[in-house]
Amino acid sequence: MSTASSFKFPNPAPLGLAGFALTTWLLSMINAGWFDGASLGLVLACAFAFGGTAQMIAGLMEVPRGNTFGFTAFMSYGAFWWSFALFVVFFHGKVPGTFVGWYLLLWGVFTFYMWLATFRSPRVLQLIFLALWITFFLLAAGDGLGMPAAGHLGGYMGLITAFLAFYLSAADVVNEAYGRTVLPIGAKT
Domain contains 84: yes
Count the neighbouring beta carbons within 10 Å of the beta carbon of residue 49.
14
Examine the pLDDT at 175 and tell me if it is beyond 70.
yes
Is 3 part of a structural domain of the chain?
A: no
The reply to whether 181 falls in a domain is no
C-alpha distances in Å from residue 50, one per residue of 16, 34, 133, 178: 8, 22, 21, 26
Query: What is the reported pLDDT for 188?
Result: 79
What integer pLDDT is reported at residue 4 of this predicted model? 56
Domain extent, residue 23, equals 12-176
Q: Which of 187, 51, 170 is nearest to 119 (CA)?
A: 187
Tens of pLDDT along 81-103?
A: 999 999 999 998 999 999 999 99
- pLDDT tens profile 117-167: 999 999 999 999 999 999 999 999 999 999 999 999 999 999 999 999 999
pLDDT band at residue 179, thresholds of 50, 70 and 90? Answer: very high
pTM of the shown model: 0.94
Residue 76 resides in a domain: yes
Q: Is the pLDDT of residue 2 over 70?
A: no
Provide CB contacts within 8 A for 88, sequence distance 6+.
Answer: 40, 44
Q: Does any domain span residue 1? A: no
**CATH number of the domain bearing residue 23:** 1.25.40
pLDDT higher than threshold 60 for residue 1:
no
Cα 123 from chain centroid? Answer: 16
Using one digit for the tens of pLDDT, what is the confidence trace for 30-66?
999 999 999 999 999 999 999 999 999 999 999 999 9
Per the structure, how many domains does the chain have?
Answer: 1
Average pLDDT over residues 72-76: 98
Q: Mutual orientation of helices 68-90 and 97-116 as an angle, nearest 10°?
A: 170
Would 161 be classed as within a structural domain? yes
